């Protein structure tokens, strides 16, 4: 047996969603403004369909209006940009999320740039990236996955990480880079490691807070983890199906070898049931914040 805490993503997400639902009811009662979230999906990627359905469902549970736009995989970039422009102009829409990845003939960057930064509840627009980098967190929409991961870190360690080493493995715009910014804002000493880092296990072993966002199943082993570290696993990887498996689907695992991590760490997020649930919850929190701003 181990003494590590298995961080409960379901409970953490329920706490955020409960607050959002409560504050939404108050906003509606006081101002008549109902938060509106528009979710746009292009094409039929099955994983994206699942994510988008869960976002719409959570929005409705929070008391939001949800607008779903499902476009065919052949939609042109111009047509998608025209939809974004309509959503930017629609006062009932406070948050716009265009599910990524987009089909190859559409530029993710062009679409993200077209979204009004004040409706960019994903926090991907360069204006929001800049606000976060400049420490203007009161104005920035922070990307949902790192914002959720940060709440989980805070639940264990408190909000001040002074004197602690944080290592983020992965340098994506969606997770790695904004996560590093948030850890830095909380006074941690931050390293961003990635596939070209020399002696990655040794770098990880320095971490009091280790965040894995690389998309490589169970890459981070127990002996890469400093005893007592807080380990946040952002990876969601599906293993190949085991012979004779019932649904023909492999297991979902994170970027961290969970059982090994539990034997060494102070606290670990599981996959599934960890950070993933927080992503959707923080999307609702960002949308509510946008609506509250619009209500003045
Ligand atoms: N695809 C995977 N994660 C995300 C996300 O957080 N936002 C959007 N828009 N697309 C994604």
Question: Which whole number is the average pLDDT over 66-85?
Answer: 97
Q: What is the pLDDT of residues 84-110, one digit of tens each?
A: 999 999 999 999 999 999 999 999 999
Q: Dihedral of CA 230/236/242/246: which sign?
A: positive
99 alpha carbon to ligand 1 midpoint, in Å? 5
Its ipTM equals 0.94
pLDDT of 245: 73
Contacts of 230 (CB under 8 A, 6+ apart): 153, 156, 157, 208, 209, 210, 265, 266, 267, 268
The one catalytic residue among 8, 45, 90, 99? 99
Residues whose beta carbon lies within 6 Å of some atom of ligand 1: 97-100, 122, 144-145, 174, 279
Residue 69 lies in a domain: yes
Task: State the pLDDT confidence band at 2, using cuts at 50, 70 and 90.
Answer: low
User: What's the pLDDT band for 130 if we cut at 50, 70, 90?
Assistant: very high
Instruction: Write the residue with the smallest CA distance to atom 8 of ligand 1.
Output: 99
pLDDT above 80: residue 132: yes
Total domains, the chain: 2
pTM of the model: 0.96
Return the CATH number at 100: 3.40.50.10860
Average pLDDT over every residue of 45-63: 93
For residue 70, how many other CB atoms are within 10 A of its CB?
A: 14
Q: How far from each other are the two terminal CA atoms of the chain, in whole angstroms?
A: 52
Of 222, 221, 133, the C-alpha closest to 179 is 133
- Which CATH number fits the domain that encloses residue 165? 3.40.50.720
CA–CA separation, 251 and 114 (whole Å): 37
Kindly state whether residues 112 and 151 are assigned to the same domain: no
Could you give the CA distance from residue 193 to residue 199 in angstroms, rounded to a whole number? 10
Average confidence (pLDDT) over 17-40:
98
User: Which neighbouring-strand residues pair with 37?
Assistant: 66, 95
Is 155 tagged catalytic?
Answer: no
User: What is the token pair recorded at 278?
Assistant: 């927080």
Q: What is the reported pLDDT for 291?
A: 98
Domain carrying residue 223: 144-276
Does residue 17 sit within a domain? no
Q: Atom 2 of ligand 1 has which residue's CA nearest to it?
A: 100
Question: Does a structural domain hold residue 19?
Answer: no
Each residue of 202-252: pLDDT tens digit? Answer: 999 999 999 999 999 999 999 999 999 999 999 999 999 988 776 778 999
């Amino acid at each position: 047996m181990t003494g590590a805490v298995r961080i409960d993503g379901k409970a953490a997400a329920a706490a955020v969603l409960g607050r959002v639902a409560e504050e939404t009811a108050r906003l509606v009662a006081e101002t008549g403004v109902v938060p509106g979230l528009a979710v746009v999906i292009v094409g039929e990627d099955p994983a994206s369909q699942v994510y988008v359905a869960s976002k719409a469902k959570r929005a409705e549970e929070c008391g939001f209006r949800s607008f779903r736009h499902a476009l065919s995989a052949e939609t042109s970039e111009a047509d998608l940009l025209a939809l974004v422009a309509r959503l930017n102009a629609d006062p009932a829409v406070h948050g716009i999320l265009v599910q990524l990845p987009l089909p190859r003939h559409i530029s993710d960057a062009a679409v993200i740039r077209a979204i009004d930064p004040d409706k960019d509840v994903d926090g991907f627009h360069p204006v929001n990236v800049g606000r976060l980098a400049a420490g203007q967190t009161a104005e920035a929409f922070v990307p949902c996955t790192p914002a959720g991961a940060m709440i989980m870190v805070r639940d264990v360690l408190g909000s001040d990480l002074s004197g602690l080493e944080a290592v983020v493995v992965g340098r994506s715009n969606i997770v790695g880079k904004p996560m590093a910014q948030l850890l830095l804002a909380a006074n941690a000493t931050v390293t961003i490691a990635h596939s070209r880092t020399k002696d990655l296990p040794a770098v990880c072993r320095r971490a009091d807070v280790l965040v894995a966002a690389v998309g490589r199943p169970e890459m981070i082993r127990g002996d890469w983890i400093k005893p007592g570290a807080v380990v946040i696993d952002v990876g969601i990887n599906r293993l190949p199906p085991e012979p004779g498996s019932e649904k023909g689907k492999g297991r979902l695992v994170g970027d961290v070898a969970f059982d090994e991590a539990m034997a060494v760490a102070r606290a670990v997020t599981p996959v599934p049931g960890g950070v993933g649930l927080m992503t959707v919850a923080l999307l609702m929190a960002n949308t509510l914040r946008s609506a509250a701003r619009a209500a003045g």
